[in-house]
Structure 1
Amino acid sequence: MIDSHCHLDLLASRKNLEVVLDSAASNGLSRIMAPSVHPESWRELQNIADQYRNILPIDSALGLHPYFLDANDALPSDKVISHQLSLLEEAALARHASVKAIGETGVDGHIDTPVKLQQQVFNAHLALAERVSLPVIVHHRKSHHLLLECFKQSNYQGSGVIHAFSGSVEVAKGYIERGFYLGIGGTITYERAKKTRETLGYLLEHHIDKLLLETDAPDMPMCGRQGEPNEPGYLTDVVDAISELYSVEKSEVIAATTRNYFRLFG
């Protein structure tokens, strides 16, 4: 199994990372993608990839999450954003061996940062991803229409993954038609996630070659594990839920999503 979205730097502040990674490997994980959220996390994730490579291979990504466009100001200034984007481009051009993607980036409809500014930053990520030939890891919340608008306006020709996908079959088709993969995580372990579960049933039947597994650790706890930090080793809960809900062999889910990961990230 591969966890295609796990914030190891954030998890390290809450749990012993060596213990967490040993447990993940024992539970069958073979690799982890660790997206970043701000410039300080880029180097930290690269150090983590170097330090723990004997336990698990760790890939990383370079990005500016909309939550963290500037950790010091409620509303980031154009000057701050311009500087951060310059740092992002420098890091991408001189990238560490672990860097396999651009992200996490995206548009969030629930935060105070103006949507137009978020779209501007997201478009800059898309342009950079095309220049350096890397896929993008995309965050969404109440923003599918805004993301699709960005893809259309920018004429983005690259690929990527829509992290923590939740949406209708039609929304899923819209992303897949643009060459995107969809990240499936702990949401489906909850009975209340009826829409996402219905969409996943369609995707397993028609587009299993576009699905990735993820935890989003330390966030998005699995059903039954609320109140504790999520871990990459809990990815087995997602596989178990898929197998039980759709009568699909666990080995088929793992094999397909593993192939998909390497097809996307190399």
Structure 2
Amino acid sequence: MVKAKAFAAGTIVNALAALKGVAFALNLKTTVRFIPGKESDFENKALGCVAKKVFRSLKIDGKVKVESEIPRRGGLGSSSAVVNALICAAYKYLNKELEAHSILRANARISLECGMSYTGAFDDASASLLGGVVFSDNAKMKLFKRETLEGKVAVLIPDWERGNVDLRKIRERREEVERAFKLAMKGKIREAMYVNSYEYCQALNLPFEPVSIAYNLGLNAGLSGNGPSYVAFGENVKDVKSLWESFGKVILVDIVSVPAEKVKIENSLFIQT
């Protein structure tokens, strides 16, 4: 039996509209155990699809057991974390070096092929595996840069669910979301999250009120992924907890800036400027 883990991912800029995203790692973990053998059994169809593709490419077989602290369908990168952890566990079993770019490209490709993501979620996958804040080009499957971030993050898991994702509506907002990405690249994270969240809340028909409440406290805050979860971080982040509790469950977790596993971070992972 071999195991590996990956982290949850929170959103600064969602890559769906412009194929460029900014995400950061949260200390909510998914652990995958790989048990080699002939008999394969999977907890659900999506996991079965992922495992079969990983197993086929690496010429192995076995069982997969998943334990996760990350809410599913919450916009917190739960799918990216499962795929990362599964690939890492398989590599460990084969004594393959954990090369970050290889793992992340495989993650994006498999996520697309198994219908778990609209863009391959290279931003979420990178944050989930590498920790810190990542600035990604999802089309090129590369990073512009990776930075460290510290502190606590408040995560709102609201009483409402995610609605339908209408790609046409989202991509109509490309220009504003690209502006949010440029703001983030300049270090204006608070403004980037506000602009990004305003556009996505409109497109996904989700409430913007949790964002404005946290923003008015001086926090970096926004919708995470395609929702329904929201994230906030910054000084006095604990102050938002009582205000957000009227919307649903609120948890406080650490931001993570170290990799989930001992990965090799190659220069090829980054766009050379």
TM-score (norm 1): 0.29
> Which structure has the highest strand share of the two?
2
TM-score (norm 2): 0.28
Structure number with greater CO (CA < 8 Å, separation at least 6) is: 2
> Which structure has the highest helix share of the two?
1
